[in-house]
Structure 1
Amino acid sequence: MKKLYFLFFFCSVLLHSQERYFLNSDTRLYTSPNSTADFLGYFKYGAEVRLLSENQNGWYKIQADNLNEGYVQEKFVAKSLNAKDVKTKDSKNPIIEGGDPYYGGNHLFILAAGLKARALPDKNSKIREILFTGDPVAVNYIPLNPDEWVNINGSFTEEYAKYTLRKFLGPRPNFDALLKEFDKLDTNNLTERKTVSERIVELAWNSDYSSLIPAYQRYYEVVKQTNDPKLIAETELNMALAKGLANHKLPEQIIAFSQKSHYSLKGFKTKSVTISQTDLIKIMGNPTKKNQISDECGIYLSDLFYYYPDLEVSVDEKQNKGEIIKVFINENNKFILNSNAILDHTLSEKAFIEKYGTYIEASLKSPHNYTIVMEDSQFRLEFKDGKIYSVEIFYYC
């Protein structure tokens, strides 16, 4: 009889653990049932939990999304959320509700520079993402212990879960306060100056472009102290980029600048990004490969793509039309923004930034990649080894 009871209990717990349950209010993860004296962490409204036990006098044993286990009151556990939920707010809960300019759901911000997000709550597990100071991340449960892990994806789904330590999360850092902190440091304290200046640069990228210049000015002071030629050259490139981005052109100016953009392929000038199939075969020969792609948004001319060693084209064979999607810039291929802006294989990244930095968008998370935004699309330019490598067009879905 005991064995049957245990089997029934085990199956019941297993069933609960597989179903989805949510918390319909702010609450805490308590260390024991029937007591609110000691707790392990804070939940925010909407947090997903796993039930590990049956209802025990109004309490459930549950598992949080960072795999912490404890107890919550039965009244806060629901199979779904709705607008009629009466949310009891916990004034001491540090998790920020959605609705600020940075994130729409429950969240906190990254406080450290170049932070590794792990696939599991283990410092030796796979790195899922590198996060930067000021990045907002989804947080539904946060432990009290600063050295415990936090699931910053807000979900139990192992495929997408990401973890970092509690001590690296908090309110959004203040840019001006970080500048003052850096300026007060002893110039000989290279380690601390490097740490703070890295945070300043990353936070600047997570702010507005005008923050980049003062950020890189301070970072450059530290970089020169390191005497690292590669790092110095990279920083000088970013300082030029910061100057261009801080003087960013208006959208209508950017569109006017590049609206007549086209390619030169082996001396043949295309009309915008289009070319007839006849001209394409005449210039480039038969494609190395043809392939059908899945175009759910219907953004390309055709699902049929022609692939060449230095060219990718969407082709409608029936209409004798081609739309150039990606061009690798080399001795034969050029990207012509306008009559005064011709981008060929000799163009260096530094020269590109100095000439056209006010027209582009850039991100710290995609170094050496720049975009020129159009009305319904954008050109993405990639640089490798200091020279332009490719130009690709992306259409908005």
Structure 2
Amino acid sequence: MKKYYFLLALLFSSLLINAQERYFLNSDTRLYTSASTSAEFLGYFKYGAEIQLLSESKNGWYKVKADNLSEGYIPEQYVATRLNAKDVKVRDNENPILEGGDNYYGGNHLFVLVAGLKARAQPDKNSKIREILFVGDPVAINYLPKNEDEWVNISGQFSDEYARFTLRKFVGKRPDFNTLLKDFDKLDVNNVTERKIVGERLVQLAWNSDNTKLIPAYQRYYEVVKQLNDPKLIDDTELNMAIAKGLVKHKKQEEITAFTKKSEFVVKGLKTKSLFFTQKELINTLGNPVKKATISDECGLYISELFYYYPDLEASVDEKENKVEVIKIFINQTNKLVFNVNAALDSSLTEKNFIEKYGTYIGASIKNPHSYSIPLEDSHFEIEFKDGKLFAIEIIYYC
């Protein structure tokens, strides 16, 4: 009986070790329906893809699971527990997955082909949406099913926490902006539905290209927006067109640095000195904080891990040194950011006015609307608008 338990323990230990082991492919290969290279195949693996073994090796083949949960067979010779620079890669010239080094992504990848692509937590159209992706976004892909209507994992890993899925037909080679522009111009002017689809793709691809693409993209899209006659869509598009004009004429970094080097926050009449107060000044002006909290600051970005929170601001506070570093202010009639005597961000500034005045200084993204950045030397101002009005300004430091 003791021997029986001992063998069970060994078996359990072996299974546990095997379950913890990770396996990768040291070459391109395919996922076959049976253990033969002459069999039908389900999809393409790229070098570096992770797999899960579902069986012991039999006649030089493993049954495996791909990261999109498809099951099939691959040759044993391509399975490894680690990858290294000495691997002799056998490339599959028919494999559509792109390798890193194309200035867009460092690893195996393809690109999003449709506007507003929903990446889901499971290979199921009803599962949770984890992310919305735009045309031209690179996505990590290690296994690509052959069937256009199958799911593909665009996270590059098995982890349930990070896995993201979409249909195979929505990813591929990066779209060409000029080709898409010509496609739009060929459409019948009365085909509003198709013009809107292509126009949205144009705009999103332009944001994923250099800034010079934004104006011609928005010129086309604005034609469709006016046809749709949706007031909110018209307002949003006109705002984005103004942003595009500023980005095309973007200031050089040295010009932006010169503009922001004397920036100061003003809170209830109290003006910072190089974005700092003393603790005594802060308490005298705002009283005791609503909340105190200790944050983890592994990069050493702030003067202290102790933070004070007020309705007017958030700040890092070194109580021993009597020093306060303002991190974020909320804009009202008494709070503002001053660049110089002629330039300030205050409660009277609308989003439209902000773009008109400072559009050549800012960074912007279609993925984060109504939020703008102005770079500093080791950080940047993050400027947030709500309902067209200036809401908050935060300093984001780089680790």
Could you say what secondary structure the match of 1:125 adopts?
A: coil
1:230 matched residue in structure 2: 232
Distance 1:355 1:316 in 2: 36
- The answer for unaligned runs of 5 or more in structure 1 is none
Distance 1:69 1:10 in 2: 25
- The answer for unaligned runs of 5 or more in structure 2 is none
Pairwise CA distance, 1:19: 2.4
Q: In the TM superposition, what whole-angstrom CA distance separates every residue of 1:226-252 from its partner, at most 9, and x where no partner exists? A: 110010001000000000011000000
Which one-letter code corresponds to 2:235 in the other structure? A
From 295, 298, 302, the equivalent of 2:297 is 295
Asked if 1:186 is matched to 2:169, the reply is no
Distance 2:112 2:308 in 1: 43
**Would you say the 8 A contact 1:23–1:49 is kept in 2?**
yes
Q: In the TM superposition, what whole-angstrom CA distance separates every residue of 1:335-379 from its partner, at most 9, and x where no partner exists? A: 112221111111100000010000000111110000001111100
1:88 matched residue in structure 2: 90
Which one-letter code corresponds to 2:262 in the other structure? K
1:319 matched residue in structure 2: 321
Distance 2:236 2:65 in 1: 46
Asked if 1:306 is matched to 2:308, the reply is yes
Which one-letter code corresponds to 1:379 in the other structure? F
Q: In the TM superposition, what whole-angstrom CA distance separates every residue of 1:246-283 from its partner, at most 9, and x where no partner exists? A: 10000000111111111111122211211111111111
Pairwise CA distance, 1:11: 9.7
**Would you say the 8 A contact 1:31–1:71 is kept in 2?**
yes
Identity within the alignment, %: 68
2:65 matched residue in structure 1: 63
Pairwise CA distance, 1:37: 3.5
Which one-letter code corresponds to 2:367 in the other structure? K
From 82, 87, 103, the equivalent of 1:101 is 103
1:54 matched residue in structure 2: 56
Distance 1:342 1:154 in 2: 45
1:263 matched residue in structure 2: 265
Call closer, same or farther: CA 1:52–1:296 in 2, change over 3 Å. Answer: same
What aligned pairs does 1:85-234 form with structure 2 within 5 A after superposition? 85-234=87-236
Pairwise CA distance, 1:12: 7.3
2:350 matched residue in structure 1: 348
2:23 matched residue in structure 1: 21
Number of residue equivalences: 392
What aligned pairs does 1:2-41 form with structure 2 within 5 A after superposition? 16=18, 18-41=20-43
Distance 2:16 2:320 in 1: 57
Distance 1:15 1:314 in 2: 46
**Would you say the 8 A contact 1:313–1:322 is kept in 2?**
yes
Distance 1:12 1:45 in 2: 28
Which one-letter code corresponds to 1:67 in the other structure? L
Call closer, same or farther: CA 1:59–1:274 in 2, change over 3 Å. Answer: same
Distance 1:217 1:91 in 2: 39
What aligned pairs does 1:322-337 form with structure 2 within 5 A after superposition? 322-337=324-339
Could you say what secondary structure the match of 2:39 adopts?
A: coil
Distance 2:274 2:384 in 1: 20
Pairwise CA distance, 1:36: 2.8
Call closer, same or farther: CA 1:278–1:14 in 2, change over 3 Å. Answer: closer
Could you say what secondary structure the match of 1:361 adopts?
A: coil
Distance 1:10 1:68 in 2: 27
Q: In the TM superposition, what whole-angstrom CA distance separates every residue of 1:189-237 from its partner, at most 9, and x where no partner exists? A: 0110000000000000001111111111111000001110010001000
Distance 1:93 1:11 in 2: 38
Asked if 1:286 is matched to 2:288, the reply is yes
Distance 2:241 2:167 in 1: 32
**Would you say the 8 A contact 1:134–1:172 is kept in 2?**
yes
Q: In the TM superposition, what whole-angstrom CA distance separates every residue of 1:18-42 from its partner, at most 9, and x where no partner exists? A: 5210000000001100333310000
Pairwise CA distance, 1:395: 1.0
- Farther off after superposition, 14-23 or 319-328: 14-23
TM-score, normalised via structure 1 length? 0.96
Distance 1:75 1:373 in 2: 51
**Would you say the 8 A contact 2:267–2:312 is kept in 1?**
no
Distance 2:15 2:240 in 1: 55
Which one-letter code corresponds to 1:66 in the other structure? N
From 268, 271, 274, the equivalent of 1:272 is 274
From 365, 370, 373, the equivalent of 2:372 is 370
Which one-letter code corresponds to 2:24 in the other structure? F
**Would you say the 8 A contact 2:251–2:361 is kept in 1?**
yes
Which one-letter code corresponds to 2:377 in the other structure? E
Distance 1:18 1:95 in 2: 28
Q: In the TM superposition, what whole-angstrom CA distance separates every residue of 1:275-320 from its partner, at most 9, and x where no partner exists? A: 1111111111111111111100000011111110121011111111
**Would you say the 8 A contact 1:17–1:51 is kept in 2?**
no
Could you say what secondary structure the match of 1:96 adopts?
A: coil
Distance 1:34 1:15 in 2: 29
Q: In the TM superposition, what whole-angstrom CA distance separates every residue of 1:97-154 from its partner, at most 9, and x where no partner exists? A: 0111000000000000000000000000000000000000000000000000000011
Give RMSD over aligned pairs: 1.7
TM-score, normalised via structure 2 length? 0.96
